[in-house]
Structure formats: C-alpha cells, structure tokens
Structure 1
C-alpha cells in the first residue's frame, strides 16, 4: 500500500539500483572476466567446465515441466477448434505458415554462412543421454517418441516425449466442458508461474555459470570461439532485419499496408520491448493501440494473445540458427534428413517459448536436448551472448504479432481501412484527445470451418 507522500510525489525519491545489480550487466562482466581468465590461465580454466555444466543442469530442472505447461496452455489458448470462428482458424493457419518460413530462413542463413564453423571443433561435447544419435535407425527414433508412462517422460530426459504428451493433453483439454477447462487452465497457469519463479532464481546464478563456460571454452579452444560468437550475434540481427523488411514486408504489401509506416506507428511499444528484451512489455500498449488504428477488438482479443503462444518468429529464427551453430562448432554433421527432423522438432518446441525474458533460451535448451545428437554443453556458451540476441528476439516476436493481427483483420473483413490509412499517414492522430475513437468493426459471423 503506497503512502500519501508516495502518491502525491512529495516523499523521498526512490533509490536507484546500482548498475552492477542487474543480471544482464553481471553476465557481461562475467564474459569479460571469463575471457581474461581463459586466455591467461588456460590450464586452470580447463577445470571450470563443471561450473558451466552445473548451471546448465539447474536450468534443465525446470525445462521439462515448463515445456509441458506452456505447450498445453498454448493449445488451450486456441480455443475449441471445432467451434472456432473464421478469424481464429485464419490466425492459426497464418501462424504455422509464417513460423515455418522463419525456421526455414534461419536454417538457410545458417547453411549459407556456415555459422559456427570458424570456432573449430570444440572439446568435451556430448549428446543428451538416452536419445539416439543422428544417423540411427528410424525404428529406434520412433520408439522413443511415445513414452510408456506419463511420469517416465519427465524423468528419462526425452524432451520430445514431453512435447508429445503436452500436445495430446492440450487436445484432450479442448474436449472438456468449458467450466472444467477454465479451472484447469487457471491451475496450470499458477503452476507455470511457480516454475518460472524457479528459473528466475537459477538465472541469478547465470554470471557464475557463464564465467565457467566462457573461461573453459577460451582456455581449451582459444579466440576462435569468441570470433564465432560475435559472427553469430551479427548474423542473427541481420537475419531478423531481413525477415521484418522482406518477409513481413511482403505480407503487409499483400494486404495493402506499408511495413515501414506500421513500424513507425508502433515504435513506442517496440522500443520498450527492445529495452526490456521482453515481448510482454509491449502487450498492454498494443492491446490499446491496435483497436484505435481500426482493427476490430474481436480480432485483437483473439489473435494477439494466441500469437504470443503460437507466432514467435524471432524465437524460430534463433533456434534454427543457434542449433546449426552448435552443430558446426562441435563438428556434428547435419545432413538434409537431420535438418528436416530438426525442423519438425522446432515447430513443436518453439510453441513452448514463454513471453518473458529468458523463455526462448529455456526452450532452446530443451530443443538441443530433444535432438539427441547436439552437445548440451554448448547451450551454456550461447547464454553468454543471449542477452544481446534476446532484444532482437522479443522485438521480432512482438512486431510479427502486430502484423499478424492487422493482416488477419484485413482479410477477415473487419478492418477499418480508412482509419488505418489515416493513422499510417499521421501516427500523431492517436495522441489527439479531441479525435474520437472509432467504433469497433463487427466481423460477419462465419460458418464453422470444420
């Protein structure tokens, strides 16, 4: 409860937190320290592998439950597919197509550039236990997809089994009565918040884990790994910009919208997302701004929340690019068949990425584990540069959902195109208190799509 002085602003000024208390700043300092220790004391650094591995093991404690919970809630957010409206059906189709394009773009960029090759063959990598290596028999792979019991999937380390259970559980949840669905969803959300609380505690140890992983990598592999990580960060930002300008630009053009003008309209929300590296930061403002731009409230209410679970373009690009980075850095061959299997896995696991900062990294760790042939040790190394990449991830995810909402509204016939043209031409219209807000356009009821 705030005091009267705090409410009136006459109380003592709020004490600013020290810059070194930020986990992001601590991680940056640990990277510098790890590089220095690895370069000066390579012998000592070779014994720090256990530090990075321990941090990774702590993260993995919450991976399986979080993947299960977020995939189930993502499916539940789509609603009853048998009774879905035309808007919901169009949105789901759009999400899957664009997410697949984002994954393919990431894989294409990684293959063309050979991301991670410059690091050489890193030492000490091993695949997740109990999962077939690449090139194994198809029968062995198929046999590991479906678990023989519910609890065994979480204890065996087979993340793909957890994803399969989550998909089946989510579909089963849609078949229950609405009142039961509501109670279960509320309970799942509460449990999910608890596990994210666990991850937040573990993330406080990120500077220590990052220091150990970076020092070990530099001490055993030299500066080639650092150059490869810098190239990875630069390449990811370039691919994200290309995705927004080319892919999302073409989608907007098909709907008669200028993507650069749309970026200008939502630049305030995107700046907030960029600074916090969390797509949730811009959601409240977008939920208020999009209806004022002429998008129907019904479409905004359905497409935006669902998109935050299903339409994570920046996450898809990150997962595709970073998995290829690990494969190249550790000298793990990945042919067409392995990359096709990787694409299928990422189409599922990317739906489990949370909207909070760090969610993409947790899901990426689960994807590396689920593949069975990528070294899990490399995940700790990538965490050192995740903060820089997460800003682009969150921004791409958020703007991708803005485009999805506007485009779905346009082709569904419930977009006030005249109002949108006015806003795109002059975004300051939204700041004028004398201009009344337009009435929300009601979509024409559509028949069931199934």
Structure 2
C-alpha cells in the first residue's frame, strides 16, 4: 500500500503513537506540580484566586491525564506486537523497568487521583493538598522509570549477553546509565516549560479577548515567572546533555550539526542553516559561523568535533531529519527565553497585561514547549538509528515479522482512531479553557 518496507512502517507507527502520547505527559507533569503550588499558596495565604485557578486547571489536568494513560497503554502493547525481536533480546531489562513504573508511579497516582479530583468537599484541606502532592510526585516518578529505560537503550551498561539475550548484572548501572541524569532533567524541565507556556497562552487569549480578571492576570504572571526561570536553565541543561551525547553517541552529534568532514586542523563551524545531502555527503546553501561548534561542544575553539565521514555510512542516521528537528527545538527554545526576558521588562514597566504584541507572542508560543519536546524526541530517537539499542541491536533485527499490508492497515486505523478520539478530547479541553476560571469557590470541609 505504501512504498515502505515493514521496518519503516513499524517505525512510523510507533513514532506516531509516541508523538501523540508524549504530549499528554508533557502537560500533566507540569500541571500536577502547578496544581500543588496553587493549592499550597491557597492554604498559606487564603487567597481565593489560587483556589479558583486550582479548580479551573484540575479539570484540564484530568482530561490530559486520562488521554495520557490510554495512549500510553496502546504504545506499551506495541513492544510485543511490532518489536518482538527487541522484547526477546532486551525484555529482561526494559520489562522490569516498566514494571517498576507501574508499581510506584501508577499505584501512587491511582491511590490519590480520586481524592485529588473529587475530594475537595469530602476530605480536609491538608489531606487534599497531600493527595495533590502525591499525584504530582507520581508523574515525576513515572518520568524517572520511562527515561531510565529509554536512556539505557542509548547508553547501555550493567548487563551481559548470554544465549543472544541481555541478562541484567548490575541494576544500579542499568538505571543510572551515563545519559540518564541529563535526559531525565532535560525532559522534566521541558514538561515544566511546556506547561508554563500552555498556561500563559490561555491567559493571553483571555486578556486579548478583554477578560481581564485577577485570576487571569495571576495565570499569566506565574507562567511568565516560570518561563523566565526555567527556559535559560533548559539551555544550560541542553549543553550538558550535548556534551554527554558527544562522548557516547558522537555520530548523533555529527548529524545534528550537519558536519560531514573536518578540514585539516580547522575548528568546526556552527551551521545555522543548510540543506544536508546524504548522497553527496555535503550541505547546500550552508550558513556557518566559523569555530563556534568547537567552542560549544568542546569548550575549546582549537578542537574539532567528530565528523560523519569518520564513521561507517551504515551507522549514520537520517541526517536531514536529525539536523532540522534539532534546529526546531533550539529555535523554539530561544523564542521562549526571549519571551521570558521580555515579560520581565514589561513587568517592570507595568504593562505585562496590556501589551498586545507580547500577548500575541505568548499566545503563538502556547504549543511551543510541546513542539520543542517532540522535536527533541525526534532528534534523540532518529539520531540513534540504525540502532534500537546503541551498539547492540539494529532496528531491522528488532521488528516483528509482519507483512507490509498488515502494518499499512494498522497504521491507517491508528491514525483514524487517534485523531477521532483524541481530537474530541482536545476540543473539549479547549472549550473548558475558553470559559476561564470562575469566581465562585468550592469550600473545603473538615
């Protein structure tokens, strides 16, 4: 049906389901912490604005949480249905890690989610706040185990291969593999940043519509403080992550930079724009800054960054896709940093809530954190190809033996079902956001 082989179709289907799924945790991780902060501030100050915002955003959180659980379950099943070779080879590592997520994060969230969503009139204030904190903690724990499993696939250690299967030897090394701390921090901060602009864009929309209330102003203010603090931190974390990737996956860095070859002893330039050509192993329409890649990645203007031609061509990822997904992530990150700095300037001029140009920018940047997160995942996962487990198992050896017809039909059904089901959920969520927080509060008992 499509001019793709079974491996490519399996990859497309998994990428499609992952792309849908990651949007929801990226929102719920940040929103859960935001809700805990809101309720904590309300308990401390008794300011009803915080209670109004809590009641408003807990509904949005519930929708995203539900869609995230559903999409995550479907994605997990694909390890068995589409990637049986991978499951047979490395299931003894990835299986327990995903089980730990269920035993810790899911059980914790399941135990307190009902109290958080429906217990405001039924339990005391402190118990309800504790439930909110436990749900927020659960989202972070879930991130911990998912990133541990995925990071191990990038920088595997703590194992032996016996009878062509991975056998765990040291779980501490498996969980805390070399790329895990950087990737966990990078993803968690990305979720906070995504939620900040999601909340900020909602407030900007209401302010542009003339709905200028104290609650709406508080939404924008808190979101922009978060953006101002977190966006620059993400850039620093990204730099450390890049240095770690250069050490363990240099070919990925070479693809991200579009760097084909080193010339003599010349430092490596930073390519701002180019059209990478894998057939000719060159870049077209290249715009470069001499030596800057050496300074960023080596922290030394005299040292060269490894080039693609230093590695076998069969180990190269899809260079154009990795090159451009990385630039989408970085470009949106720069815009979010600028928006945070601009908000500080407008706050000092006392025009934060009335500058329409700034509000339109924040509204446009509403999905920026989510798009940047997706672009970052594309960079990471596409950059690992052609390996499903770096240096151990190639993707073509991990896929199940399905026909092209079967995979084409299942992919088509996934696309139809996902856009239908999650489209309805997204539309309902946007309708709730358009109503804004209400002024009346719900009183706690106990």
- Fold equivalence (TM over 0.5): no
Q: TM-score, normalised by structure 1?
A: 0.28
Higher RCO (C-alpha 8 Å, min separation 6)? 1
